[in-house]
Amino acid sequence: MKTPVVTITVLILLLHAIPAAGQSDSDAYDTIRSTYTMDEFLGTNTFIDAPVEKLQPVGWVREYHNWSFNEIENDVLEYNRWNGFWDFDEFYTDLKAAGIMVCPVVWASPGWLQPNGNYRPVVNDEDPLLPYSYREIAEMMYQFAGRYGSREVDPDNLMVNEGQVKKTGLNLVRYIEDWNEQDKDWEGEKAEFKPGHYAAMASANIDGHCGTMGPLYGMKQADPDMRFVMGGLANIDTKYLTDMKAWFEKNRPDSAWPIDVINIHHYAFRRNESGISPEADFFKIKVQQAVLWRDSNAPECEIWVTEFGYDSNPYSMNRAPEIGNYTRQEVQAIWNLRTFLILSSSGADRAAHFMIRDVDPGGDQPRYANCGLTTSKSEGHEPKTSWYYLLTMKKILKGMYFSEVLSENDALWQYKYESITGDTAVYACWHPEIPDSSLSFNFKTDLPVDSVVLIQLKDNSTEGFSKMVDYDTSGIALPLSQSPLFIRAIADTSLVYEDTTDNTDTTGLDFITLDGRKDFKVFPNPVKDMLYIEIEKDIVSHSDVYIRLFDSVGKISAMKKVQIPYNKSIIKFDTNSMIPGFYYLEIGNNRSYTCKPVLLIN
């Protein structure tokens, strides 16, 4: 059983094990937990007036939601604006029907509170280190969660303008983000939240500072199931998180870290030059700073990266360049997809590109103006190359979880994605630099297949170009370019074994630790009700394998014996009756064992 000291040591080793460009080290990715399928992972930023059908390429959206969109005057709220021209109930309902999760970003001080929307929303310039100073926005969070959350509240607690209908428990929103880029230092002192300032506001907006502000403040006092998303940090700064944690420990009545999602932004570019590829930017290593902080300080938190992207405007410092025969729009699309893929391997739980549409294509501020998946609103939201490529990738990876990094070096980047049963895999393969498709690589899969399907991205197509090719165990030569090539392999399902035994006799076993080996896989992790365990037969000396789950104090919570009749087997492990929390899953035979951490959630 690993002790907390060992766990800390592993995290330190992981920090030193993150591979530099041109290297590959699978041990650096042990903290990855595929919380969501890839179609759920992919997101973008949007406004209420984006057509829902143009949001098809993603599984979730981050909706910029000015506070004043609803609270037009103090304690006067509207959700259906201008006779239905903006109807948030309808927008969120349409998104849910389309299978798209929404996370509203409630931010920007209304004019009745502050003269500048960027200013901290404190009342009467009160102390920004005190949660009560943020009572107005904390009240707004209660109102918003009371309407759109999953729990019903007393309608008498809701405030709406004349002609508006009180509604509660609509179950349309599960996540609410609190502010946007609160660490910005370019809008003046009153706009910048120091870590203590933001921690104080977050404590108010989450639950009214543990209820001490009164019952009608904070989103979780309206809906305890609502998830609080930290405003996206403009800079990946773990010291900011550490200082917030210190404020919570000192000032929160429960001394707890109350945030559900840590949120960061990052754009890959060279200042005063142009955008650069995510590989050249070391994007993954930068994000993993936050991932490792999360793993050691707030392990139940999710990590989201909610702004990244490239401009197609040739004058933008964030522009995607033309490379070889690739147009600027093609490079924009290719780099966007590769960023999504890289983030899926980083330990981040969700990612959102900036943004659904070009925002100011004819303006005098070209940076960020042409990052869209589509053209601007005035140009009719016409899909750009990025829109087609991303929708194609979403379809290819639907229902798939990130599995492992197979290669990250100067010659080949290759990731593997798997279905929950392990019988289907999709491989994403690309070269980070070459301008054309003159190179090739030898592709191999460990699944028992005699053919695979190749899928190449294609502009103006939402399916790409597909081709089935024969496969043998020596591998096949495939073309390699900057544009990701997807390879789908489906195993013979007769090789998938479902355990039905329940023999828990482990008498006589002599377990010996094998730290560092990656002998089996568990997914999904975190797990809610059914854990799947993929075991390679060659890790054991015979077909009998023992599975045990230990809780955080070393007590055996469950165990069983199974048989491994094939080279690779998928074992189901029912966790429905177990208490949520951290566990260690141990697999062994009569000679050795190996462990992996598992997080069980509600």
User: Looking at the predicted structure, is the pLDDT value of residue 402 above 90?
Assistant: yes
pLDDT tens readout for residues 169-196: 999 999 999 999 999 999 999 999 999 9
Cβ-based neighbours of 367, under 8 Å, separated by 6 or more: 311, 313, 316, 317, 318
The pLDDT-based confidence of 132 (bands split at 50, 70, 90) is: very high
pLDDT in tens, 585-597: 777 765 556 667 7
| Mean pLDDT, residues 567-571 | 64
Residue 18, pLDDT > 60, answer no
Name 471's Cβ contacts closer than 8 Å, sequence gap at least 6. 445, 449, 450, 451, 452, 489
Residue 230, beta-bridge partner list: 178
pLDDT digits (tens, 9 = 90+) for 517-560: 345 678 887 888 888 887 664 544 445 677 777 766 566 777 77
Is pLDDT at 6 greater than 70 in this prediction?
no
- Tell me the three state secondary structure of residue 124: helix
SS3 content of the chain, % helix, strand, coil (to 5): 25, 30, 50
Residue 57 has pLDDT above 50, yes or no: yes
CATH of 497-600, one of 2.60.40.1930, 3.40.50.2300, 2.40.37.10, 1.10.3720.10: 2.60.40.1930
H/E element, 559: strand 556-563
163: its two tokens: 């002609």
Contacts of 26 (CB under 8 A, 6+ apart): 404, 405, 518
Return mean pLDDT, the chain: 85
Question: b/e for 421-450, b at 16 or more Cβ within 10 A?
Answer: bbbbbbbbbbbbeeeebeeebebebebbbe
Each residue's pLDDT tens digit, 328-369: 999 999 999 999 999 999 999 999 999 999 987 766 667 889
- pLDDT at 16 (0 to 100): 31
Q: Give the model confidence (pLDDT) of 199-226 as tens digits.
A: 999 999 999 999 999 999 999 999 999 9
Q: CA separation (Å) from 553 to 74, 158, 256, 531?
A: 50, 45, 21, 21
501 has a pLDDT exceeding 60: no
In one-letter notation, the amino acid at residue 477 is: A
> What digits encode the pLDDT tens for the residues 276-299?
999 999 999 999 999 999 999 999
Residue 310's DSSP bridge partners are none
- The one-letter amino acid code at 22 reads G
| Per-residue pLDDT, 523 | 81
Strands 413-418 and 424-430: antiparallel
**What residues pair up with 229 in beta bridges, in sequence order?**
177, 261
pLDDT, average across residues 47-71: 98
Are 307 and 266 in contact by the 8 Å Cβ rule? The answer is yes
In the chain, ranges of CATH 3.20.20.80 domains: 43-398
| Cα 419-423-425 angle, rounded to 5 deg | 55
Q: What is the DSSP letter of 219?
A: H
Predicted pLDDT at 481: 94
Cis peptide before 355 (omega within 30 of 0): yes
| Predicted confidence (pLDDT) per residue in 424-477, tens digit | 999 999 999 877 667 899 999 999 888 899 999 999 999 999 999 999 889 999
Domain range 43-398, its CATH number among 3.20.20.70, 3.20.20.80, 3.90.850.10, 3.30.70.890: 3.20.20.80
pLDDT the model gives residue 509: 29
Inter-residue contact 597 to 521 (CB < 8 Å): no
pLDDT at 510 over 70: no
pTM over 0.85: no
In terms of Cα–Cα distance, which of 106, 100, 116 is closest to 172? 100
Q: Does the pLDDT value for residue 62 go beyond 50? A: yes
Asked which of 13-27, 326-340, 408-422 is least confident by mean pLDDT, the reply is 13-27
Which residues, 6 or more positions from 528, have their beta carbon under 8 angstroms from its beta carbon?
A: 575, 600, 601, 602
pLDDT attached to residue 553: 57
